[in-house]
């Protein structure tokens, strides 16, 4: 193939193809530079000619050969595997090919893309820009080889000067899925080749602006800014910043500016900067801010940051990583509405337009390099590219293209070298290069455990207790004693935590307490923002959201790619409301009549926030009536970031009135922002005032930790029962199981201890001593195969007693229970429940509760308790106490892999509603779930679409539940949220009432 040397700007570049086995970076490209779009840019997206071959050897070698080939059409940008050619494949750590670096396998899907471009008039110079080609590409313009690309999520820019012609031009791109570069791109995501980001033709004058580097510093002590704009161009450049009164200022000459309003996520002030030469002009947005590390804290503009972040992959269920910019904007607005103030662009630089949005909407960004070699870990890190000099040019190329592209964005406050690439000299060299080129931002890389070459300590999935210890000065786990990682001046963050897979994440409050407790902890990033399910049409025409293995992959990692706070279609999962609550920038504590407000914003006061106090009276059961709450505006004190103040609530609403009351304070933004309307809620808190009157505690759940077994029999006068019986408004079958309340039929009534395991139940807790998951321990202990034996069934006056022993098949272990029914109140069946373990139990139980089935016409619920979303013992920070109602269908969380979900805690009253009648259940500290399918169906299903309503409503009323934790990847359920086997007692009432 022809090789041509061309002088391009300051860079000497070789126009040649690159063998797929070469570990070197791409060829023929212009020097990396900032992305500088011009209005005259020509978007080459659209329909291209396309064909695919199973190997590089079979594909045509050049454009001429391709012209003879039969081809179809394909959409650019896009992935070919999502457009009917081949299939996507999902792996997490493992490479889907032999680890034989730097060689790719022969089986290497290779495509050729081609399109024509009409040129009316030759520009003085022209450039062809690719924002992202997944795979290794070779590019020709009019059959002239331009060069090649490596680095799927990085830009590649080629000069077209000697190959452009007036009239029809032909652009040809040959893409191989695998190359040596694939060893550097082992991120936990779908393998999806193709030209998936924009392709742009830029026509420019001869002496164009090649690059701009904006330095916009802010000094929080003086309130002034310093602006210096470096321009790379053969012509002299000047700058204008109209909003600051700067005009025709020579580029490169520093300007000191007084009275600057700095950029922060809470006040993302941007100024338009025009950079001009005689013949060229580019427009950028500039924000003034300073990132520093001081006193062990990561600071922006002098203020310690509290990064309340998420890890964001680019994902769309139909388009893969070709995410439209309007979608990205909607995602960022959704994040802002949920108090998320930071994004880690895991694990590659995002679409360049994304950073314009984070600048504008106000989010801190950890901008991460396109680098991961995790699969080498499975081979003991042997031949890991990170420490092999052969790969140094590729590592440096990747970091240069990241930094040069994104250096002008105020939202980018940290550079991250990449993810899970072990450690080694090439990573250290990347960091050194950044420190030379852009000393204004610290360098992050989680794999640098000893802090040898980065500036910020980082870890993944530490427990909240370990995070707390690091905050207090302990050496981070995995760091060598005496290494820089232990230095007190080094800030620390969790680049990943709270693995949001399936039901969960549990334990957010404990993490946030650790973060807020230590200025050294800069914050944490939830893993992850979005679930990567892909919409798949099956042979029978049905459609489902697919995960690993659904495309027939030889090796895959199942549903580990479905672990986000939002669904692939960006529908919030319950965890998102919890994140909004714990990440809230306004801390509220309500203690009787006093409200303490803490301003945790980074860059704004509490001005512009308004607060409302809503008060409802509770009845003696702790339940509110139907009257609307009495509401009143309350004044929020004016607080600077970091300040707290306590205010007295209006006495007439909050003082003891004799009856118990529920107080809710809600803080909202008074004015619309770019991401939410006026009145959008930022924070809320609730508290109950007990009142002085006597309150009954019907059905309060209590627990006794004594392991003593349950009293074996009831009163001496008891009459043993042997057949079905009527007792008050209840009917019972021959085994003493409730079969009817009033005229409502009840099926399969009994105690339940099992749940359809969640993804977290299936994970091995990182902080446990046991190598087994909770789900495995449950099945090992036999909790999924309990058999019941009635030990007592008798009546004595107003008490009906049913004793049941639940024994584990093949074991002498089990759970004894005693249900004591009473009918002292007309129309009400009251139930006292006692359970106690017998034999050896060394595992927490999933739940203790009642389960039964109602006819499917009971299709709605109304409850007083936590809601509207799910709340387990360690989740539900976003759920609040009050009346909620919804159809049973809406209680379900449509998890892509079905599992236990949607349980509502803090329950005091539940009405299961049919059109005429309702089953009402009262108690304290209960939880419920109701589903149109059984737990067995939930457990057996692999995909949401496998679940079918079975014409019954399956109800759980739980007395106690095991927490959720995050053991799918991280620590298990915290001790305080575990349901340990012990003797417990509870109470609850049933009645049939007319439906409202």
Q: Verify binding: residue 922, ligand GAL, rule CB under 6 A.
A: no
Minimum CB distance to ligand GAL, residue 963 (Å): 20
* Alpha-helical segments (H) within 584-727: 651-654
- Comparing CA positions, the residue from 5, 32, 20 lying closest to residue 127 is 32
**Is-contact 129 206, C-beta < 8 A?**
no
**Residue 939 backbone phi and psi in degrees, to 5:** -75, -35
- List Cα–Cα distances, 940 to 161, 756, 889, 899, 947, in angstroms: 61, 9, 19, 9, 9
> Residue 104 and residue 961: Cα distance in Å, rounded?
50
DSSP 238-295: EEEEGGGTEEEEETT--EEESS----BTTB---EEEEEE-SS-EEEEEE----EEEET
Give the nearer residue to ligand GAL in terms of CB position, either 92 or 779. Answer: 92
Please identify which of the residues 400, 496, 834, 900 carries the catalytic annotation.
496
Is the Cβ of residue 213 or residue 348 nearer to ligand GAL in the bound state?
348
Helices 392-406 and 352-361, packing angle to 10 deg: 40
**Which token pair is 678?**
């006026």
Q: Which of 420, 531, 792, 799 is catalytic?
A: 420
d(C-alpha 885, C-alpha 865), whole Å:
11
- Least distance in angstroms from the C-beta of 447 to ligand GAL: 10
Reduced to 3 DSSP states, what percent helix, strand and coil does the chain have, rounded to the nearest 5?
15, 40, 45
Residue 189 beta carbon to ligand GAL: minimum distance, rounded to whole angstroms = 8
Peptide linkage before 505 cis (omega within 30 of 0): yes
- Pattern 132-171, ligand GAL, x by CB under 6 A: ----------------------------------------
Selected from 186, 210, 496, 860, the binder of ligand GAL by CB under 6 A is 496
Minimum CB–partner distance for residue 207 and ligand GAL (Å): 44
- Our answer to whether residue 420 is catalytic in this structure is yes
CB-hemisphere CA count at 13 Å for 261? 11
Backbone CA torsion sign across 735, 737, 741, 745: negative
User: Shortest Cβ contact with ligand GAL: which residue?
Assistant: 188
From candidates 969, 987, 988, 992, binder to ligand GAL by CB under 6 A: 969
Locus of tokens 């909790």: 783
Q: Which residues are CB-neighbours of 378 under 8 A, at least 6 positions away?
A: 93, 94, 99
Asked whether position 896 contacts ligand GAL by CB under 6 A, the answer is no
- Closest CB to ligand GAL among residues 511, 560: 560
How far, in whole angstroms, is CA 115 from its chain's centroid?
A: 38
Q: Residue 493 or residue 907: which is nearer to ligand GAL going by CB?
A: 493
Q: What are 658's two structure tokens? A: 């004799």
Alpha-carbon distance of 67 to 714, in angstroms, equals 91
Provide, rounded to whole angstroms, the least separation between the CB of residue 284 and ligand GAL: 32
Taking the C-alpha atoms of residue 258 and residue 247, their distance in angstroms, rounded to an integer, is 16
- Interface positions, 345-404, toward ligand GAL (CB under 6 A): 347
Q: How far is the CB of 964 from ligand GAL (least distance, A)?
A: 16
Structure tokens at 676: 């939410």
- Please say whether the beta carbons of 661 and 617 come within 8 A: yes
**CB neighbourhood size of 434 (10 A):** 23
Question: Per-residue contact track with ligand GAL, 169 to 188, x per CB under 6 A?
Answer: -------------------x
Q: Considering beta carbons, is residue 476 or 873 the nearer one to ligand GAL?
A: 476
Least Cβ distance, residue 459 to ligand GAL (angstroms)? 11
Residues of this chain, 614-633, that bind ligand GAL according to CB under 6 A:
none
Smallest separation (angstroms) from ligand GAL to the CB of 672: 36
Tell me if 420 contacts ligand GAL by CB under 6 A: yes
d(CA 279, CA 498): 52
Q: Which is nearer to ligand GAL, 494 or 636 (CB)?
A: 494
Residue from 172, 308, 419, 966 binding ligand GAL (CB under 6 A)? 419
Question: How far, rounded to the nearest angstrom, does the alpha carbon of residue 730 sit from its chain's CA centroid?
Answer: 47
Q: Shortest approach of ligand GAL to residue 846 CB, angstroms?
A: 24
Q: Which residue number, 527 or 858, has a Cβ lying nearer to ligand GAL?
A: 527
With CB under 6 A as the rule, give the number of residues binding ligand GAL.
12
Cβ proximity to ligand GAL, 351 vs 496, nearer residue: 496
Of 420 and 900, the one with the shorter C-beta distance to ligand GAL is 420
User: Which positions from 452 through 481 interact with ligand GAL, judged by CB under 6 A?
Assistant: 460
Q: Which residues pair with 647 in a beta bridge?
A: 595
- Is residue 92 a contact residue for ligand GAL (CB under 6 A)? yes
- Does the footprint of ligand GAL cover residue 493 (CB under 6 A)? no
For residue 622, is it left (φ>0), alpha (ψ between -120 and 50) or beta? left
124 as an active site residue: the answer is no
Is-contact 652 632, C-beta < 8 A?
no
Comparing CB distances to ligand GAL, the nearer of 496 and 578 is 496
Interface of this chain with ligand GAL, residues 295 to 354, rule: CB under 6 A: 347
Binding letters toward ligand GAL, positions 925-964, x by CB under 6 A? ----------------------------------------
Nearest approach, Cβ of 419 to ligand GAL (angstroms)? 5
Residue from 563, 799, 860, 900 in contact with ligand GAL (CB under 6 A): 563
Q: Can you read off the two tokens belonging to residue 625? A: 């009536």
Q: Which residues pair with residue 311 across a beta bridge? A: 344
* Closest-CA residue to 564 (of 532, 612, 608, 528): 528
Helix (H, G, I), strand (E, B) or coil at 502: coil
Q: How far apart, in whole angstroms, are the C-alpha atoms of residue 673 and residue 267?
A: 10
Q: How many residues does the chain have?
A: 996
Nearer to ligand GAL, 240 or 759 (CB): 759
Q: Write out the binding residues for ligand GAL, residues 97-116 only, by CB under 6 A.
A: none
Q: Does 527 bind ligand GAL (CB under 6 A)?
A: yes
User: Rounded to the nearest 5 degrees, what angle is found at the Cα of 758, between the Cα atoms of 757 and 761?
Assistant: 75
- State the minimum distance, in angstroms, from the CB of residue 185 to ligand GAL: 12
The CB-of-969 to ligand GAL minimum distance in angstroms stands at 4
CB 848 within 8 A of CB 979: yes
Q: Is the Cβ of residue 277 or residue 311 nearer to ligand GAL in the bound state?
A: 311
* Catalytic annotation, residues: 420, 496
Q: Which residues contact ligand GAL by CB under 6 A? A: 92, 188, 347, 419-420, 460, 496, 499, 527, 560, 563, 969
């Amino acid at each position: 193939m022809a090789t041509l040397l061309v002088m391009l700007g300051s860079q000497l570049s070789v126009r040649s193809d690159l063998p797929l086995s070469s570990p070197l970076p791409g060829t023929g490209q212009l020097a990396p530079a900032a992305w500088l779009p011009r209005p005259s840019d020509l978007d080459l997206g659209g329909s291209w000619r396309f064909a695919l071959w199973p190997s590089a050897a079979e594909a045509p070698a050049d454009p001429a050969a391709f012209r003879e080939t039969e081809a179809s059409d394909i959409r650019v940008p896009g992935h070919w595997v999502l457009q009917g050619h081949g299939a996507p494949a999902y792996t997490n750590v493992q490479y889907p090919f032999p680890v034989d670096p730097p060689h790719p396998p022969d089986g290497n899907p290779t495509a050729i893309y081609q399109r024509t471009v009409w040129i009316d008039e030759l520009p003085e110079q022209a450039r062809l820009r690719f924002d992202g080609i997944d795979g290794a590409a070779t590019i020709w313009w009019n059959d002239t080889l331009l060069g090649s690309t490596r680095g799927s999520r990085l830009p590649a820019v080629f000069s077209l000067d000697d190959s452009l012609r007036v009239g029809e031009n032909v652009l040809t791109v040959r893409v191989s899925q695998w190359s040596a570069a694939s060893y550097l791109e082992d991120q936990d995501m779908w393998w999806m080749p193709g030209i998936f980001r924009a392709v742009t033709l830029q026509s420019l004058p001869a002496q164009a602006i090649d690059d701009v580097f904006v330095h916009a510093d802010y000094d929080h002590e003086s309130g002034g800014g310093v602006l210096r704009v470096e321009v790379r161009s053969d012509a002299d450049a000047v700058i204008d910043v109209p909003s600051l009164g700067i005009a025709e200022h020579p580029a490169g000459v520093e300007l000191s500016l007084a009275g600057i309003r700095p950029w922060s996520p809470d006040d993302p002030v941007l100024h338009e900067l025009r950079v001009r030469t005689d013949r060229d002009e580019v427009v950028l947005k500039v924000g003034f801010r300073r990132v520093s590390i001081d006193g062990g804290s990561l600071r922006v503009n002098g203020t310690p940051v509290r990064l309340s972040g998420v890890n964001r992959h680019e994902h769309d269920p139909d388009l893969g990583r070709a995410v439209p910019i309007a979608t990205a904007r909607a995602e960022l607005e959704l994040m802002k509405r949920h108090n998320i103030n930071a994004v880690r662009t895991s694990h590659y630089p995002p679409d360049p337009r994304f950073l314009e949005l984070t600048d504008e909407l106000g989010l801190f960004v950890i901008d991460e390099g396109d680098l991961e070699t995790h699969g080498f870990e499975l081979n003991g890190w042997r031949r890991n590219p990170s420490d092999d000099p052969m790969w140094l040019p590729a590592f440096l190329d990747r970091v240069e293209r990241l930094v040069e592209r994104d250096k002008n964005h105020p939202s980018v406050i940290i550079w991250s070298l990449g993810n899970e690439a072990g450690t080694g000299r090439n990573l250290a060299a990347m960091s050194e290069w950044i420190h030379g080129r852009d000393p204004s931002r610290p360098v992050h890389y989680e794999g640098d455990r000893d802090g040898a070459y980065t500036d910020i300590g980082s870890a993944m999935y530490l427990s909240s207790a370990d995070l707390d210890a690091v905050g207090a000065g302990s050496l981070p786990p995995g760091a060598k004693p005496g290494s820089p990682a232990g230095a007190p001046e080094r800030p620390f963050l969790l680049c990943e935590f709270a693995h949001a897979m399936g039901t969960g994440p549990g334990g957010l409050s404990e993490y946030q307490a650790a973060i807020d407790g230590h200025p050294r902890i800069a914050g944490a990033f939830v893993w992850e923002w979005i679930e990567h399910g892909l919409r798949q049409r099956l042979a029978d025409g049905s459609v489902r959201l697919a995960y690993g293995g659904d495309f027939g992959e030889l090796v895959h990692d199942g549903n580990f790619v479905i672990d986000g706070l939002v669904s692939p279609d960006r529908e919030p999962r319950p965890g998102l409301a919890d994140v909004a609550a714990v990440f809230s920038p306004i801390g509220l504590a309500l203690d009787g009549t006093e409200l303490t407000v803490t301003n945790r914003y980074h860059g704004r006061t509490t001005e512009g926030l308004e607060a409302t106090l809503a008060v409802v009276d509770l009845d003696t059961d702790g339940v509110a009536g139907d009257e609307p709450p009495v509401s009143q505006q309350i004044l929020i004190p004016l607080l600077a970031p970091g300040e707290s103040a306590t205010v007295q609530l209006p006495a007439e609403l909050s003082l003891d009135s004799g009856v118990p009351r529920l107080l809710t304070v809600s803080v909202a933004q008074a004015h619309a922002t770019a991401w939410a309307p006026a009145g959008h809620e930022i924070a809320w808190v609730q508290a109950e005032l007990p009142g002085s009157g006597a309150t009954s505690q019907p059905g309060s759940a209590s627990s006794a930790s004594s392991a003593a077994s349950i009293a074996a029999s009831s009163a001496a006068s008891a009459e043993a029962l042997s057949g079905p019986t009527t007792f008050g408004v209840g009917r019972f079958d021959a085994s003493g199981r409730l079969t009817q309340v009033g005229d409502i039929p009840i099926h399969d009534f009994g105690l339940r201890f099992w749940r359809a395991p969640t993804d977290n139940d299936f994970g091995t807790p990182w902080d446990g001593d046991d190598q087994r998951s909770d789900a495995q321990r449950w099945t090992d202990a036999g909790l999924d195969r309990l058999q019941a034996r009635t030990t007592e069934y008798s009546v004595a006056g107003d008490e009906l007693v049913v004793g049941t022993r639940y024994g584990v098949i093949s074991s002498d272990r089990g759970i004894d229970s005693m249900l004591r029914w009473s009918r002292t109140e007309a129309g009400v069946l009251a139930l006292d429940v006692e359970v106690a373990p017998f034999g050896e139990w060394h595992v927490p139980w999933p739940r203790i509760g009642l389960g039964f089935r109602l006819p499917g016409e009971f299709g709605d619920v109304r409850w007083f308790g936590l809601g509207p979303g799910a709340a387990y013992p360690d989740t539900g920070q976003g759920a609040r106490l009050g009346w909620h109602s919804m159809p049973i269908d809406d209680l379900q969380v449509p998890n892509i892999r079905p599992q236990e979900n949607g349980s509502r805690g803090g329950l005091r009253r539940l009405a299961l509603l049919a059109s005429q009648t309702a089953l009402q259940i009262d108690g304290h500290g209960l939880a419920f779930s109701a589903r149109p399918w059984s737990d067995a169906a939930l457990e057996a299903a692999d995909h949401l679409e496998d679940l079918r309503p079975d014409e019954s409503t399956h109800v759980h009323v739980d007395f106690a539940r095991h927490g959720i934790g995050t053991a799918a990847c991280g620590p298990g359920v915290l001790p305080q949220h575990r349901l340990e086997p012990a003797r417990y007692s509870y109470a609850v009432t049933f009645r049939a009432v007319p439906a409202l």
